[in-house]
Structure 1
Amino acid sequence: MGERLLSVEDLVVEYRPKRFRAKPFRALGGVSVAVDAGQTLGLVGESGSGKTTLGRALLGLAPVTAGRITFAGEDISHAGRAQRRRLSRDLQVVFQDPYSSLNPAMEIGEILAEPLTVQGVSAQAARARIMELLDRVGLPQDAVHRLPREFSGGQRQRVAIARALALQPKLIVCDEPVSALDLTTQARVLDLLLQVQRDTGVAYLFISHDIDVVRHVSHDVAVMYRGEIVEHGPAQRVTVDPEHSYTRRLLLASPVADPDRQQERRAERARLRAQERGRAGVAV
């Protein structure tokens, strides 16, 4: 176990509706997770489970209604603009869509230079750093003069990873970073993230709906369902021998090559879903 880098305690995120007297929508209800330096916490759940909301709250993009977020010993629950700018050195993000996350009008060199320039890095030092970044993510150095549209989806995501690494952060929030890519490209990008972590010691909060992807990259896994953590533990246990029925259902959702086994998995998943609905009905 490394040094505690990120601590989220009893985090509540609510969105206030525009309608008068309407009840707020609670996206997160008392979530607690932690990430150690150099480690990866996989956050997995279906669409609408709240996993992306948690990532957005860490980045200051979702309102913190209650609870506390501590990063590198500093309370960032309600960080202002100046604090967020300072935090950007150590806290970065890689978004889901490599096509929309890069400015199509800017050359790759300009995209990579932007975070360095904002932090006051000289033009000469920025150029040297950009060359290092391109080499680290496996892109040719002549990429600096090319536009994002000249690259494939996997190459664009490599650019996004290079941009996130520009300021040598301590933690990168990876929000579904491979879900828009084909399977072969997914594997290459995941291997790149693992190699970067080995080389730099960066920590990841890795958000995904795919439990197989999370197993590949994570040290620990937290499973989210309806805005709450329903299971949390070492990746090998949670993704291979889960305790919670919802986690088992996520595991059964992963496709297999055998049609007969796939049909059995679908039937078992339907049975677990029916059990969950039955328990919810009893609770009501």
Structure 2
Amino acid sequence: MNDLLTVEDLRVSFPGRGRRAPRTDVLKGVSLRIRPGETLGLVGGSGSGKTTIGRAILGLVPVRSGAITFMGERIEGASARRRRELSRDLQVIFQDPYTSLNPSLTIGDTLSEPLLAQGIGRAEARRRVGGLLDRVRLPADAADRLPREFSGGQRQRVAIARALAVGPKLIVCDEPVSALDLTTRQTVLDLLLEIQRQTGVSYLFVSHDLAVVRVMSHRVSVIHRGEIVETGEASTVTTRPEHDYTRRLVLAAPVADVARQRARREAFERASAQPSGANTSTDR
């Protein structure tokens, strides 16, 4: 099966704060791949570079070097016009449902925008908006209401519907549930899984939460200080990690049973004390 997206030796750096300050290397040769219909979980701590990878794929930050290939096309240097065309197949769900929606537009107008931009007529766009609201389990009359009338979880469902509007092949999910409470979070995750089963869409699921990534992903890549330190099947990386940083992420993931948490921590500490080769490979 051909990969839907490949990222090869991606490097991104940002200017320093002072006039003579050196540039900061944010991504240091990152490589990963996503297959059609697959979710790749990208997990790492704050400042690890995980969000920058998603933004580079979307063309929101400049790439210093490396290749981003989407559906067989190199896109890291795509023009603004080509980026608009690519938005039909490449979409994003941002972290904060309170700021990602235009507060002055009704939900119907928000969902119609990407459809109208693709040349779909207004009547057909209105019809499709009804279908999108139904898919994310919102009532039809939501189309006539403003974002402020909805809860955070409902707004994130609107954001999901907007991303789905033009039938994308890949959605970058940038911490899509981190701003939600636990109950709402699970509802949104279940919805994303259901949509993937129904449509075959691929996700790049960016998160700091290993427990969430474990539930959502087929494979997981762990990023630390701008480098991928471990990649593998989700069930393996999240239960039998090879790299010390991944082990620390596993230990940091909460477990409801205190005794189980303690036993797990002790087991990992014993394993870490034994000499072993850390897996520093990139995507395989």
Same fold (TM over 0.5): yes
The answer to whether the aligner puts 1:152 opposite 2:157 as a matched pair is no
The answer to whether the aligner puts 1:100 opposite 2:118 as a matched pair is no
Give the Cα separation in 2 of the matches to 1:267 and 1:101.
Answer: 42
Structure 1 pair 269/181, CA: closer, same or farther in 2 (3 Å)?
Answer: farther
Which residue of 1 is the match for residue 24 of structure 2?
A: 25
The answer to whether the aligner puts 1:61 opposite 2:60 as a matched pair is yes
| Shift, 1:78, TM fit | 0.9
- Counterpart AA for 2:21: A
Structure 1 pair 35/268, CA: closer, same or farther in 2 (3 Å)?
Answer: same
| Shift, 1:265, TM fit | 5.9
Give the Cα separation in 1 of the matches to 2:75 and 2:213.
Answer: 26
- Counterpart AA for 2:127: A
Describe the SS at the equivalent of 1:124. helix
- Counterpart AA for 2:97: P
Give the Cα separation in 2 of the matches to 1:268 and 1:236.
Answer: 18
Deviates most, 53-62 or 248-257: 248-257
Give the Cα separation in 1 of the matches to 2:267 and 2:235.
Answer: 21
| Cα shift readout 1:196-226 (whole Å, capped 9, x = no counterpart) | 0111110000000011100111111000000
Question: How many residues end up aligned between the 2 structures?
Answer: 275
Give the Cα separation in 1 of the matches to 2:243 and 2:216.
Answer: 21
Structure 1 pair 243/269, CA: closer, same or farther in 2 (3 Å)?
Answer: closer
| Shift, 1:258, TM fit | 3.0
| Cα shift readout 1:82-120 (whole Å, capped 9, x = no counterpart) | 010000000000000111101111110010011111111
The answer to whether the aligner puts 1:11 opposite 2:16 as a matched pair is no
| Shift, 1:128, TM fit | 1.0
The answer to whether the aligner puts 1:129 opposite 2:128 as a matched pair is yes
- Give the aligned CA root-mean-square deviation in angstroms: 2.1
| Cα shift readout 1:255-280 (whole Å, capped 9, x = no counterpart) | 122334445667788999999xxxxx
Which residue of 2 is the match for residue 143 of structure 1?
A: 142
Give the Cα separation in 2 of the matches to 1:269 and 1:152.
Answer: 40
Work out the percentage of aligned pairs sharing the same amino acid: 64
Q: TM-score, normalised by structure 2?
A: 0.92
Give the Cα separation in 1 of the matches to 2:103 and 2:149.
Answer: 10
Q: Which runs of 5+ in 1 are unaligned?
A: 276-284
- Counterpart AA for 1:62: V
| Cα shift readout 1:45-93 (whole Å, capped 9, x = no counterpart) | 0111100000000011111001000001110011110010000000000
Give the Cα separation in 2 of the matches to 1:54 and 1:256.
Answer: 29
Q: TM-score, normalised by structure 1?
A: 0.92
| Cα shift readout 1:152-193 (whole Å, capped 9, x = no counterpart) | 111110000000000000000000000001111111111100
Structure 1 pair 78/140, CA: closer, same or farther in 2 (3 Å)?
Answer: same
Which residue of 2 is the match for residue 40 of structure 1?
A: 39
Which residue of 2 is the match for residue 239 of structure 1?
A: 238
Give the Cα separation in 2 of the matches to 1:271 and 1:46.
Answer: 24
- Counterpart AA for 2:70: F
Q: Which runs of 5+ in 2 are unaligned?
A: 275-284
Pairs within 5 Å for 1:173-252: 173-252=172-251
- Counterpart AA for 2:118: Q
